[in-house]
Amino acid sequence: MSVQVWTYLLVGLSFALYIGIAIWSRAGSTKEYYVAGGGVSPLANGMATAADWMSAASFISMAGIIAFAGYDGAVYLMGWTGGYVLLALLLAPYLRKFGKFTVPDFIGERYYSKTARIVAVICALIVSFTYVAGQMRGVGIVFSRFLEVDINTGVIIGMVIVLFYAVLGGMKGITYTQVAQYCVLIFAFMVPAIFISIQMTGNPIPQLGMGGTVADGTYLLDKLDGLTTELGFAEYTDGSKSLVDVFAITLALMVGTAGLPHVIVRFFTVKRVKDARKSAGWALLLIAILYTTAPAVAVFARTNLIETASEKEYASMPQWFKNWEETGLLKFDDKNGDGKIQYVGAADMNELTVDRDIMVLANPEIANLPAWVIALVAAGGLAAALSTAAGLLLVISSSISHDLIKNVFNPQLSEKGELWAARISAAVAVVIAGYFGINPPGFVAAVVALAFGLAAASFFPAIILGIFYKKMNSKGAISGMIVGLLLMLYYMLKFKFGLFDGGKDAVAGLQADWWFGISPEGFGTIAMIVNFIVALTVNQFTPEPPEEVQEIVEHIRIPSGAGEASAH
């Protein structure tokens, strides 16, 4: 069977599975909609958390970044993995014990303020929409190549699918769908990695294959260093980023992870605090399988791309090259008119433009793997993007229905009314997310990295201080969140999108003006520090929180006696 037929078959079967699970596990109450009834097993929750966490950025884009950035791409591995450890050990059990559904719910109750809740909702919406834009872009890329539709049509198809099971099933449907999606995405990531590792190094374990030798006895990484330097690129195993920027990006991704609302809410779906810790452990193990494999996939992909495309006749290029050209994500511009593809480090001479987001998806085709493996990767990419998109849409809908409508504007709203409000909010959110997917602000991982920076700048200090500093008051927390978020937004719009300096064309020239030499992806670290300073300073000059709030903070740090989360 052709790749096209295999793709329709595997993607169709996986979608049928997701929709079937959504119908089977549809939510009938707000508790089922928000936290899946609070009775998910630690293993199932660990798998769902891993799928929620490993978005299109992890599956599609991260290995692509590492393939082109080499050593510098390690900041994404370190930041995202370290951040999950931070979240699992430092925050999740305490937030679970507090017993609220959402981050705005925690902040509203902990800081005894409707204003704090509203500010937190605004932060959650900005973070979630930035993040979900990357997921919808990932869905569009997969559909555009493998179902041979344009990216915009692909985004719309993805919107319809995710709307169906997110709106119908809520967290209950999303949880069990994500268990299936984890199985699909990890199988889809590992199978081609194992195939290519055997093909290139004779070792079936990709992590070992990356450090192994190729047929002529040369170490694979040494060979890749030689190939890249011959073409005028920097050595693959050398870094060009400053130490300050590496540290800032890594820390921003770490603390941003610990403030991500769609990951935090997963710890409310288990029965006990003990189960939250267990599911965090399972998720970390399941995430590590993909994250330790991604650098190997990046090395295999970059080596194969250079050997297949550099200095080769364009007319004799294999079919995969033409297929990706049709999507617009791979471009050949014959600048010297010799009919050969010149892939070099000098921008004015380079004739090949490769979108970073296609490397994982194109890798099996470049390596000439069987059609079913190529189709499997497409199904895995969709599973990764859709699982995270669903989690983010739930955060958006619950922030609006539960935190704004129910707890601020209409406390008398019935449970049925709240459920309808959540579903309508999710439907509107899908349309907005689709717009961002069609008009993305950058490639998938770059957009997602900005979402982490926004979470670091806004949520992390408020959550940490809310758990570990009982005298932290509402005015301090609100001031810190507002200043941190606005500072991050300003820096992002100025240096990532050139909003104040002539638009996107001016962005490259603004790099010399970065504050402290820190990129927009790393600036969340500075905005977070400013948030802490503002919050603690304001806190010193305003009244202490009420005694009962301080007692609650004392209680959630005692590791026993945690009850179930409740909706109201």
* Domain map (residue ranges) of the chain: 3-556
CA angle 249-250-256, nearest 5°?
85
pLDDT digits (tens, 9 = 90+) for 211-222: 888 888 889 999
pLDDT tens-digit readout, 536-554:
999 999 999 999 988 888 8
Between 476 and 235, where is the model more confident? 476
Model pTM score: 0.82
pLDDT at 462: 93
pLDDT tens for 436-450 read 777 765 555 566 778
Measured between alpha carbons, how far is 201 from 196 in angstroms, rounded to an integer? 8
Q: Which of 489, 471, 469 is nearest to 542 (CA)?
A: 471
Percent of the chain with pLDDT over 90: 17
Q: Which residues contact 156 (CB under 8 A, 6 or more apart)?
A: 434
CB atoms closer than 10 angstroms to residue 137:
30
Determine the Cα–Cα distance for residues 221 and 223; give it in Å rounded to an integer: 5
Residue 567 pLDDT exceeds 50: no
**Lookup result for tokens 């992870």:** 257
| Class (C level, CATH) for 3-556 | mainly alpha
Among the ranges given (10-24, 194-208, 348-362, 492-506), the one the predictor scored with the smallest mean pLDDT: 492-506
Which pLDDT score is estimated for 444?
55
pLDDT at 395 over 70: yes
List, in order, residues 6 or more apart from 453 with CB less than 8 Å away: 252, 256, 488, 492, 520, 521, 522, 523, 524, 527
The pLDDT of residue 561 is 46
Residue 486: its pLDDT value, please? 94
Give the model's pLDDT for residue 487: 95
Residue 338 has pLDDT above 70, yes or no: yes
Q: What is the pLDDT of residue 293?
A: 93
What's CA 259's distance to the chain center, in Å?
Answer: 13
**pLDDT given at position 85:** 81
Most confident of 28-42, 122-136, 391-405, 462-476: 462-476
